[in-house]
Amino acid sequence: MARDRRYDVLFEPVKIGPVTARNRFYQVPHCSGMGRQFPTSSAVMRGIKAEGGWAVISTEQCDFHPTGDVRTQIRLWDEKDIPTHARMTELVHRHGSLAAVELCHPGHHSASFYARETPIAPSPIPVRAPFPGQARAMDRQDIADFRKWHRRAAVLAQQAGFDIVYVYAGHAITLLMFFLSRQYNQRSDEYGGSLENRARLFRECIEDAHDAVGESCAVAVRLAVDELLGENGMTAGAEGRELVEMLAELPDLWDVNISAWENDSATSRFAPEGFQEQYIDFVKSVTTKPVVGVGRFTSPDSMVSQIKRGVLDFIGAARPSIADPFLPKKIEEGHLDDIRECIGCNICAAYNNASVPLRCTQNPTQGEEWRKGWHPERIAAKNTDDSVLIVGAGPAGLEAARALGQRGYQVLLAEAKTEIGGRVIRESRLPGLSAWSRVLDYRATQLRQMANVKIYPGSPMSISDVLETDCSLVAIATGASWARDGVGRTLHQAVPGAGSSNIYTPDDIMADVEFEGPVAIYDDDHYYMGSVIAEMLRHKGLDVTLITPSSVVSEFSTYTLEQEHVQAKLLTLGVRIVPQQNLVAVSADGVDLACVYTGKPRHVEAASIVLVTSRIPNDELYHALLRDEAVIKQSGIDKVTRIGDCYAPSIIADAVYAGHKYARDLGAEAPEEVPFKRELIELTPDY
């Protein structure tokens, strides 16, 4: 299929100092959760993005001195670190792309746990981690040393094969940003006070990098032009603009965004596509150098608009490149319907923050490229004559059907409801979650193109229905239902009064069951469900109290960078938040609680109670089929398997992964005890 000529501008080469990017698709620096522990996994993952058409592939933040040790990230301390980076640059270059490294010293943002060096900062300040200790103020010798370390890191990066070296001052997590910031820089010497003074070290590092590697490497700057702190911080309308004007022609490329990370990587629940334009649109007007910015871009029309209106020269992406590493190639080849659009859920950030390899709701191969050999676009052709019945067209069933169909298997996908999508379609109708429907949209589009996959909505399956399909394999993907008895992370037995008629669950809310207020929501799930239900009910005009045993609402959303946004939204809407309370009993007039620390009792009046605690697998059909193995075998069914929430309720990303894994494993040899390749530490002889 030919490319739509409207998108030709996206495939123009762009010069960045001494190097040239083959198109305008730029994977900006993003964490991988792999860090220095899993360098091959990280290298292969980024190499696949180059294969997918991204012209520039960047690392995550790369610390370059023990005083700025970040134990979960990559490092470039000395020559011993070069081989791991060279592995990545070689794979990126293999596909004609440029490799960029984001050199970073986190200052007081790091407590230097591994290295046990004293952190450094522009001025004395406690380290950000919730641990005792402070960073010391840098003297002139420290500043000179910092410049030396940064320059050496640029040279090491060049030796490792990088084409672009970053000078990084963004996200409120870097020493250079702390020097720029009036909040953190209280110095009275030539590195403090005026913006020109606060920017002195930033300027010097850019000049040092140019001097050290500028003949062969581009020097890029990453800068947060607005801290979203109003007059208390840098803003695009004042110092942010002044700084870009001051240094306009010094770097070879401007990579501009906002800070902190939770604002720069805002979820789709709180920010639309292209949301950063209002902060960064001035940059191209004050520099002749190319500009890259982000905005969770997935629409090629939005991308073209950014270029033609003079907002950006490069379409920057982190999360969209994770959801679809082949997004550029699909646009180039005219396969727009095959794009897996990022849903902006930040599950990728969550698992990086948990110090494990990224995972993605849309892309189940993310993080498995090397260790399991999973390619995002290629999958082995079928190697058995099996036909497969999948019962349930939720995220697990849809992905299993899609991947099995891609392999060439004959698939029947039966869904009891009249519309497919399962929990995805229900949850995407909740406030702020409409983009989550892309999980269904992508898979439904793919399935419609597959003659070997038949979809039967409105088809509840009984045992006899299953037996009559003549399929040799059956996958039960019938999802899960929210518990009505209060059992969850905190309560392990049914709460007294759980049979009361005024108890509801998220399933009732999503089914638009009518009930009276005031409403008490007990959230022991700690992710999005409790808060979006509170938001939804407030929009309906009901009085809402959200109760949680945690210290904050939606505690897990700290990992997805949303927690502060969630709590602020609920408070703005007038939702009463009652934290640190265990559920003791429910009754017709409300809920009895007890402080999680002291046990002090408390009663919250409510006409209706919503329990958001745990989910129970809908596995009745699975167990019914297994009760008579003889009948199953006689009907020609070789195996019945549970997948997704029907097997173990979890997040949507895990359900999609489960469906994909089922499809990949079909016909494969039984895995070893450890079902993936591991990167093992090589013991050194000098112990």
CA 524 distance to own-chain centroid: 23
Report the run of H or E that residue 631 belongs to, with start and end. helix 629-634
pLDDT tens string 481-540? 999 999 999 999 999 999 889 999 999 999 999 989 999 999 999 999 999 999 999 999
DSSP states along 280-340:
HTTGGGT-SS-EEE-S----HHHHHHHHHTTS-SEEEESHHHHH-TTHHHHHHTT-GGG--
Could you state, in order of their start, the residue ranges of all structural domains in the chain?
12-259, 387-479+618-665, 483-615
Q: From the centroid of its chain, how far is CA 542?
A: 33
Topology annotation, domain 483-615? FAD/NAD(P)-binding domain (3.50.50)
Interatomic CA distance for residues 280 and 222, integer angstroms: 12
Q: Are 570 and 531 in contact (CB under 8 A)?
A: yes
**What's the average model confidence in pLDDT over 593-602?**
98
Q: Is the pLDDT of residue 671 over 90?
A: no
Q: What percent of the chain has pLDDT over 70?
A: 100
Report whether pLDDT(683) > 90: no
Task: Specify the pLDDT at position 36.
Answer: 87
Strands 14-16 and 25-27: unpaired
The amino acid occupying position 16 is I
For β-strands 74-75 and 218-226, DSSP reports them as unpaired
At residue 89, the 3 state secondary structure works out as: helix
Name residues whose C-beta falls within 8 Å of residue 16's C-beta, 6 or more positions apart in sequence.
Answer: 56, 98, 164, 218, 220, 252, 253, 290
Amino acid at 450: M
Confidence of residue 98 (pLDDT cuts 50, 70, 90): very high
- Show the tokens assigned to 559: 């990992």
b/e 338-352 (16+ beta carbons within 10 angstroms → b): bbbbbbbbbbbbbbb
Sign of the CA dihedral with 260 first, then 548, 532, and 529 last: positive
**Mean pLDDT along residues 204-217:** 98
DSSP characters over 583-599: EEEEETTEEEEEETTT-
pLDDT score, position 160: 98
Q: What's at 101, amino acid-wise?
A: V
CA angle 95, 96, 99 (to 5 degrees): 95
Helices marked H in 52-113 — which ranges?
82-93
| Strand order, beta sheet including 576-578 | 503-504, 608-612, 519-523, 544-547, 576-578
Mode of pairing for the β-strands spanning 590-595 and 581-587: antiparallel
State how far the Cα of 121 lies from the Cα of 108, in Å rounded to an integer.
6
Measured CA to CA, the distance from residue 91 to residue 408 in angstroms comes to 30
pLDDT confidence of residue 111: 86
The CATH classification number of 12-259 equals: 3.20.20.70
What is residue 45's predicted lDDT score, i.e. its pLDDT? 98
Task: Calculate the alpha carbon distances from 328 to 29, 100, 454 in Å.
Answer: 17, 18, 30
Q: Which residue, among 478, 477, 538, has the nearest Cα to 509 in the 3D structure?
A: 538
**Radius of gyration over alpha carbons of the chain, in Å?**
27
**Residue matched to tokens 């299929």:** 1
Strand 125-126, strand 56-63: pairing? unpaired
pTM: 0.96
The string of pLDDT tens digits covering residues 291-349 is 999 999 999 999 999 999 999 999 999 999 999 999 999 999 999 999 999 999 999 99
Q: Which residues are catalytically annotated?
A: 31, 168, 171, 264
pLDDT above 80 (res 129):
no
* pLDDT category of residue 214 using cuts at 50, 70 and 90: very high
Residue 670 pLDDT > 90? no
Residue 519 pairs with which residues in a beta bridge?
A: 544, 608
Specify the pLDDT at position 28: 98
H-helix segments, 54-186 = 82-93, 140-159, 175-180
φ and ψ of 222, to 5 deg: -110, 120
- The count of residues in the chain is 687
The span from the CA of 548 to the CA of 555, in Å, is: 9
CB-based contact 437:395 (threshold 8 Å): no
CATH homologous superfamily of domain 387-479+618-665? NAD(P)-binding Rossmann-like Domain (3.40.50.720)
Is residue 323 within 8 A of residue 347, CB to CB? The reply is no
First-to-last C-alpha distance (Å) of the chain: 59
**What are the angstrom distances between the C-alpha of 572 and each of 268, 356, 449?**
19, 34, 45
Rounded to the nearest 5°, which phi and psi values hold at 595?
A: -55, 135
Number of Cβ within a 10 Å radius of residue 502: 19
Residues 401, 412 contacting (CB under 8 angstroms): no
The maximal CA–CA distance of the chain, rounded, in angstroms, is 86
- Cα 660 from chain centre: 19
Share of the chain above pLDDT 90, in %: 90
